[in-house]
Structure 1
């Protein structure tokens, strides 16, 4: 297993044109719980994971106010572990989903509710301006035909007020990106995408052409599209790496605008994930990994 761990070898990207970040970052969704309906994790472990992530060079953390379970919330852990924040730390969050009584994001906020959700993120993270806010649409469903204009326009207004630095969109199609760009600049797109879930390859190419970050959620599988890790075995063996490391290395190789935000509540898994930045996949590796 590749164990020389640090975010820097994965390269950097200028998010929004003015925020340099390492392309290997950290997703906070799994800090409170492994799944939305799973057991609550020890908050002390979450604090330790966050502090270690920053020690390893992570300067891009992806979170959301609704990443919470049983009184443990990702935003609270981030503030406790890392505030006062380093000047080069970029924290991205997302708004749109609303939690039901079981803690599952099963409904969506309307335009009138978005200011309150942004203010909740400002308060819980303890900042005066959010670096990057995604509008997540579609609930737990794949991207559909719903419009995002009314909701994205609210976030654009908050950006003009200085509460948000950059805007992103999540769980979207190319048509949604067009819709959003007609209202305000889009710094990042966050969709489901990984080595065996490449349906958004054309959208990734569009983002690369336009200098927009492409930040997949579930980069190691999960949700409705798990990774069959046995198919990665030949490449894993060539590099002495784990399945997670190969999946992340593939994502970094897919495009210079792709940013990886693997999430974990485990210190060991964090170290493993950060080792992916040093792996350089060959053309032979890529052909094997992308074989259907």
Structure 2
């Protein structure tokens, strides 16, 4: 998948990052993670304009959740997008807004809670069907851990999502923050997507990624550049990434995103931002092409999953 030259285009052509496949649809391999739109709560017009700009740049894969901004993000998406944009909106369930706790959300893993979240998403997105819904498990970190009545068997969760798919409320089912065993348990329901923490410096899920390649399942990593969570390494701190960026005339973040696209054909990215210039930089990452030596140097960066507690 490596190119024999190193370059970055000045204008995106077609779908950013090229075409990929998600839930039976062709989409841009660089999509948009909408979580950070909450930062524009006091400037709703700017949030709408940012989404419109994403569409203008060729992005047709938007990732969201009802608990982003207590529904604000979904409302902006509903306002900004129209059927003519032909964008696939993907949401996730497994948590809900918390108005009175130390965090802005709490787990909501029980089947009846998952059903209620799908209904809430349909209402705020103004959709008759959500094209794809990801089930976010909470057995492992990073983030909130399930305990008490939030410890729910995955089969029970998949059963309610399958029922919602049969009812036409959702089009496809994905899973997030899962182990390899949980993914294999999920395969019989027809998994369209896996969202796990994964980056150049955290590749402990490599076998799972390869299973998804074999099964035709989209791999949509969160924390694609590492994370601000304590103890988690950052892709942009890697000397090989910094050097690749220098060679390419890009930023280290762009180089880290581009490596993911080169690494496996089923990788789809959903970098998020609230800034138009950053949005454009993310789109431009899809046009980066590595020479063989640069790609080999990046591939040789050690994975440090042992530095963090993921699975």
TM-score by length of 1: 0.89
Distance 1:105 1:284, change over 3 A: farther
After TM superposition, give the deviation of residue 287 of structure 1 in Å. Answer: 2.4
Unaligned runs of 5+ in 1: 34-38
Aligned to 1:49: 50
TM-score by length of 2: 0.84
Count how many residue pairs are aligned between Structure 1 and Structure 2.
282
Secondary structure at the counterpart of residue 107 of structure 2: strand
Unaligned runs of 5+ in 2: 1-6, 303-311
CA distance in 2 between counterparts of 1:241 and 1:129 reads: 39
CA distance in 2 between counterparts of 1:286 and 1:59 reads: 28
- Pick the aligned partner of 1:191 from 187, 192, 196: 196
- Pick the aligned partner of 1:217 from 218, 222, 246: 222
Secondary structure at the counterpart of residue 46 of structure 1: helix
CA distance in 1 between counterparts of 2:261 and 2:128 reads: 32
User: Could you tell me whether the CA contact under 8 Å between 2:235 and 2:256 is conserved in 1?
Assistant: no
Aligned counterparts, 1:158-237, within 5 A: 158-182=164-188, 184-224=189-229, 225-231=232-238, 232-237=241-246
Secondary structure at the counterpart of residue 21 of structure 1: strand
Aligned to 2:305: none
User: Could you tell me whether the CA contact under 8 Å between 1:32 and 1:43 is conserved in 2?
Assistant: no
Q: Please, which moves more after superposition, 96-105 or 197-206?
A: 96-105
- Pick the aligned partner of 2:279 from 252, 255, 270: 270
Aligned to 2:64: 63
CA distance in 2 between counterparts of 1:264 and 1:270 reads: 6
- Pick the aligned partner of 1:95 from 93, 101, 115: 93
After TM superposition, give the deviation of residue 223 of structure 1 in Å. Answer: 4.5
After TM superposition, give the deviation of residue 76 of structure 1 in Å. Answer: 0.7
CA distance in 2 between counterparts of 1:9 and 1:121 reads: 27
CA distance in 1 between counterparts of 2:123 and 2:224 reads: 29
CA distance in 2 between counterparts of 1:240 and 1:24 reads: 20
Aligned to 1:79: 78
User: Could you tell me whether the CA contact under 8 Å between 2:16 and 2:284 is conserved in 1?
Assistant: no
Distance 1:279 1:58, change over 3 A: same
User: Could you tell me whether the CA contact under 8 Å between 1:106 and 1:139 is conserved in 2?
Assistant: no
Aligned to 2:36: 30
Q: Which has the larger radius of gyration?
A: 2
CA distance in 1 between counterparts of 2:79 and 2:186 reads: 34
Displacement over 6 Å in runs of 4+: 143-146
User: Could you tell me whether the CA contact under 8 Å between 2:35 and 2:64 is conserved in 1?
Assistant: yes
CA distance in 1 between counterparts of 2:226 and 2:47 reads: 21
Aligned to 2:159: 153
User: Could you tell me whether the CA contact under 8 Å between 2:235 and 2:253 is conserved in 1?
Assistant: no
Aligned counterparts, 1:238-257, within 5 A: 238-257=247-266
After TM superposition, give the deviation of residue 44 of structure 1 in Å. Answer: 2.3
Aligned to 1:36: none
